[in-house]
């Protein structure tokens, strides 16, 4: 069976694919984070691309420990991370690298890291105290957008300057990055703009429920840092 291209994999819908188990989702997610095709990962792990496709797509797949070890190496991660052992722990529990390097990110790199979608942390000031909440966000028309509920903590910053932070930590390699956005937050009420946002965002809120209040954060300040190793 011919392997699908990376473009075809990206555009395939859930209905096109067999059910995945936790291992399959974690393998595919990590592969995509590294920007690798199935063929590239299979070559690094010393296995057939068809077998890697089987691991990613079938919830009943049960590879032996040697296969998992090779996969972890090919995906530059740990067996614990690949198996979901850190699911209830915060990121960054690994030890610092022997020769870490902290560097400032330029605006273009910050925009690249921020540019798609994911989970970010919104910081707002309330009458009681500053509050930080996670939200599923997308970047549309060079602005942060997300959906929330009326009366939620995340809309207390409307009409004021807020901060929004996104980061990524690689425990296996003790490196990562963070990007900080500052700018005014406002609700989006124009029906045509709401329709366009609904068409262009990448994900829906993981928390579920009725979340029909759209919030937009204009990017007026953008900074970032990266920790890597020599």
Q: What is the CATH number of the domain that holds 40?
A: 1.10.260.40
Q: Are residues 162 and 77 in the same domain?
A: no
Q: Do residues 191 and 165 make contact, with C-beta atoms less than 8 angstroms apart?
A: no
Q: Which helix (H) or strand (E) holds 9?
A: helix 6-11
Residue 91 inside a domain? The answer is: no
Q: What is the pLDDT of residue 122?
A: 94
Question: What does the pLDDT look like over 176-202, one tens digit per residue?
Answer: 999 999 999 999 989 998 898 888 887
DSSP string covering 166-194: EEEEETTTTEEEEEEEEEEEEEE--HHHH
Q: Are residues 223 and 138 in the same domain?
A: yes
Structural domain total, the chain = 2
pTM summary value: 0.66
Spatial separation of the C-alpha atoms in residues 43 and 184, rounded to whole Å: 48
Please report whether residue 32 resides in a domain: yes
The confidence score (pLDDT) of residue 49 equals 92
Enclosing domain of residue 215: 100-229
pLDDT at 6 over 60: no
The mean pLDDT value of the chain amounts to 83
Report whether 57 contacts 20 (CB < 8 A): yes
């Amino acid at each position: 069976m011919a392997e699908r291209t990376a473009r075809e994999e990206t555009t395939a819908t859930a209905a096109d694919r067999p059910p995945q188990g936790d291992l399959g989702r974690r393998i595919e997610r990590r592969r995509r984070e590294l920007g690798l095709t199935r063929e590239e990962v299979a070559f690094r792990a010393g296995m057939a691309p068809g077998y890697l496709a089987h691991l990613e797509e079938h919830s009943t797949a049960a590879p032996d420990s040697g296969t998992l070890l090779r996969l972890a190496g090919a995906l530059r991660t740990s067996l614990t991370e690949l198996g979901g052992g850190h699911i209830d722990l915060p990121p960054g529990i690994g030890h610092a690298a022997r020769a870490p390097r902290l560097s400032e990110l330029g605006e273009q790199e910050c925009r690249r890291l921020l540019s798609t979608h994911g989970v970010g942390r919104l910081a707002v000031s309330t009458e009681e105290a500053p509050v930080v909440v996670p939200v599923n966000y997308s970047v549309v028309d060079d602005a942060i957008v997300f959906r929330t509920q009326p009366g939620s903590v995340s809309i207390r910053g409307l009409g004021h300057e807020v901060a929004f932070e996104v980061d990524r930590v690689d425990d296996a390699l003790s490196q990562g990055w963070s990007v900080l956005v500052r700018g005014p937050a406002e609700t989006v009420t124009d029906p045509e703009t709401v329709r366009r946002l609904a068409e262009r965002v990448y994900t829906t809120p993981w928390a579920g429920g009725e979340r029909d209040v759209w919030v937009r954060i204009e990017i007026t300040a953008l900074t970032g840092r990266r920790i890597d190793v020599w």
